[in-house]
Amino acid sequence: MDESLDTVLVEFDDDRGVGTLTMNRPDALNALNGQLRDDIIAGLEALEEENEEREGVALRAVVLEGAGEKAFCAGADIGGFSDESAGGSSARSHYDVIREFPAPVVAKIDGYCLGGGLETALACDFRLASEGSTFGFPEVNLGILPGAGGVQYVSKLASPAVAKELAMTGEHVSATRADEEGIVTHVYGDDEFDEEVDEFVTDLAGQAPLAIQAIKKSADMAVHSGLEEGLEYDYQLFKRLLETEDHAEGAAAFAEDREPEFEGK
């Protein structure tokens, strides 16, 4: 499957079970206008439809990247983010759709990752960055704050002090600093970036997909709930996974000293 929406390219690699969405406004450093927000949602829906046409869980991971040499995404489109259309036409934001998407979404960050672009990356399950990438919340320069929870999420991943530093100064920080602060999952050298991301995503896509879906829900639950509620939630997920064919396959593969073949059943 190769599909072109107005501002997002969608690909599905059937062999690995990996979908790729490329935000495609390179001339505006992939700034988020209403169309791009809508197209991210439409791209994820198109990948879900591909999945539904196949047996088990065929879509195992999604990569979200930015087109061009310079940016993952330079934030909201400053040309018109006060317009009503700038938020997109969907009732759910693209941030929510990414967070609630059943397969893990990996932000592949090569270049500027700013403002709403950083918040988009924060909505993803993993942030893999090239060494030359830079991160920041420049909203304060426009007299606003990150509107999609950026300060909240960086406070949880790093610390309130780091969130304040980014959002109050508007300064960009390096990928290495973002990694040290826990904002980024991994940083790779610019030369091996594509290869390392491919390897990470291929490994992720090879894991038992129902377990991966449950782990995503569990980790999201941990952000919102108390420990007791979270433990009970995990236990219910665990009991359900014990009944799956993937669990039987994983145990059999271990006993037979071979690689498991998970189907998401």
Is the CB of 150 or the CB of 260 nearer to ligand CAA?
150
* Least gap, CB of 219 to ligand CAA (angstroms): 24
Residue 188 in 3-state DSSP? Answer: strand
Q: Is 78 in the site for ligand CAA (CB under 6 A)?
A: yes
Question: Tokens 């450093």 identify what position?
Answer: 29
Rounded CA gap, 223 and 43, in Å?
26
Residue 243 to residue 81: CA distance in whole angstroms: 48
Q: Which two structure tokens, joined as six digits, stand for 32? A: 């988020």
Structure token digits, residue 60 = 């195992």
- Contact with ligand CAA (CB under 6 A): which of 3, 11, 13, 28? 28
Question: Binding of ligand CAA at residue 74 (CB under 6 A)?
Answer: yes
Report, in Å, the least distance between residue 79 CB and ligand CAA. Answer: 5
Q: Nearest-5° angle of CA 263, CA 221, CA 159? A: 120
Rg, C-alpha atoms of the chain: 19
The reply on whether position 95 binds ligand CAA by CB under 6 A is no
Collapse the DSSP code of 258 into the 3-class scheme (helix H, G, I; strand E, B; otherwise coil) and give the result. Answer: coil
- Residue 88 contacts ligand CAA per CB under 6 A: no
Regarding 29 and contact with ligand CAA (CB under 6 A), the answer is yes
Eight-state DSSP code of residue 76: B
Choose, by CB under 6 A, the member of 112, 153, 193, 262 that binds ligand CAA. 112
> What would the x/- binding string for ligand CAA be over residues 134 to 153, using CB under 6 A?
----xx--x---xxx-----
Nearest approach in angstroms of CB 28 to ligand CAA is 4
- Residue 115 sits in the site that holds ligand CAA (CB under 6 A): yes
HSE at residue 37, side-chain half, CA atoms within 13 A, is: 25
For the question of residue 119 being annotated catalytic, the response is yes
**Count of residues interacting with ligand CAA (CB under 6 A):** 20
Point out the residues that are catalytic: 76, 116, 119, 139
